[in-house]
Amino acid sequence: MATRLFSKRNMPRINQKSQQTDLPVLKPFTYNPHGQIGDLQFSRWLADLPPQAFLLFGFLALMWPVIAAAQSNFTTTQAFEALWRWLPFIMSQGFLMNVVVSFLTMLIGTIAGVLLGLGQISPNFWLNKSCWFITQLFRNSPWLVLLFIVMLAFPYEIKIGDTYIAIPDWLKAVFGLSLPIMANISEIVRGGVQSVPTGQWEAAESLAYTRHQTLWLIILPQCFKRMIPPWMNWYAILTMATPLISLLGVEEIITLSRQAMEAEDNYPELLMPFFGFSLFIFFVYCYPIARFTIKLEKRFQVNG
């Protein structure tokens, strides 16, 4: 009798086909402007540019010097020859500084942003609200304003005993740019942790895991891969923003391009070759990052 009552045939729903479920762990992540980890608008825009757009930019770049050459004795050929002479100087001491600043800024911003993001999910009320306020303050502040504040607030040198240690302008620029990067990385971390279903927390609690163990052994490993694409997206945005540091007097590609044009008597025909090359080299550097970001997003996305 017991065998008949509890047989596989009589057990409810055991022989029914599985149906679709609306469990949140199976749902794909959608874009949310308030810190969701899928915010890759910049990389999508850059990676989705059609080939016709590049042809149009190239056509306009070629037409401008032709029109300007008719108004001056300085020819387009001479302008590109000047660019070729200054190219080693612009690349080795100019664009290299942009790359160094972007790397150091991303390093500092990532470390501070991870700590700030973890503070936003802390159960401690005052720590939670303090980290939230700092995140929103620097996330919604203009980058140029932050750069000028850092430039004016930081001393030019620090005295330790009888030794004076100079603080270079590029180091101030790194700290100034790391503030908004820190805030945006904080939102990536917060969004990534909160995207993990609450069932994961409950399961860890049922196994007597502490909050620290749950966070580092269960939650963060699940959302780490999801945070890589938006992190790379912000690195591309940061790299494109590094010419702002020329306003602080940092000798990067834009500053050295202006100095080179001044050395060549500031002919108008020099503008398009020099600044056009700056645009080109930033595109060559950032476009592969954008494509790789989209590839990683597709690889790590959660399918419904």
Distance (Å, whole) CA 282 – CA 3: 74
Q: Does residue 237 sit within a domain?
A: yes
What mean pLDDT comes out for the span 131-143? 93
Q: Does residue 14 sit within a domain?
A: no
Give the tens place of pLDDT for each residue, 50-90: 766 766 766 666 665 555 554 556 677 888 888 899 999 99
Q: Does residue 130 sit within a domain?
A: yes
Entry field: residues in the chain: 304
For 165, list phi and psi in degrees, rounded to 5.
Answer: -110, 115
Query: Reduced to 3 states, what is the DSSP secondary structure of residue 138?
Result: helix
Counting the structural domains of the chain, the total is 1
* Contact call for residues 116 and 186 (beta carbons, < 8 A): yes
Q: Does residue 2 sit within a domain?
A: no
Is the model's pLDDT at 11 over the cut of 80?
Answer: no
Burial class (CB in 10 A: 0-12, 13-18, 19+), 93: middle
Q: Does residue 9 sit within a domain?
A: no
Prediction pTM value? 0.73
What pLDDT is stored for residue 176 in this prediction? 93
Is the model's pLDDT at 8 over the cut of 80?
Answer: no
Q: Which two tokens stand for residue 65?
A: 């010097």
Q: Does residue 71 sit within a domain?
A: no
Higher pLDDT, 170 or 156: 170
Domain of 97, CATH number, reads 1.10.3720.10
Look up residue 114 and give its amino acid: V
Q: Does residue 28 sit within a domain?
A: no
Domain range for 207: 76-300
Q: Does residue 47 sit within a domain?
A: no
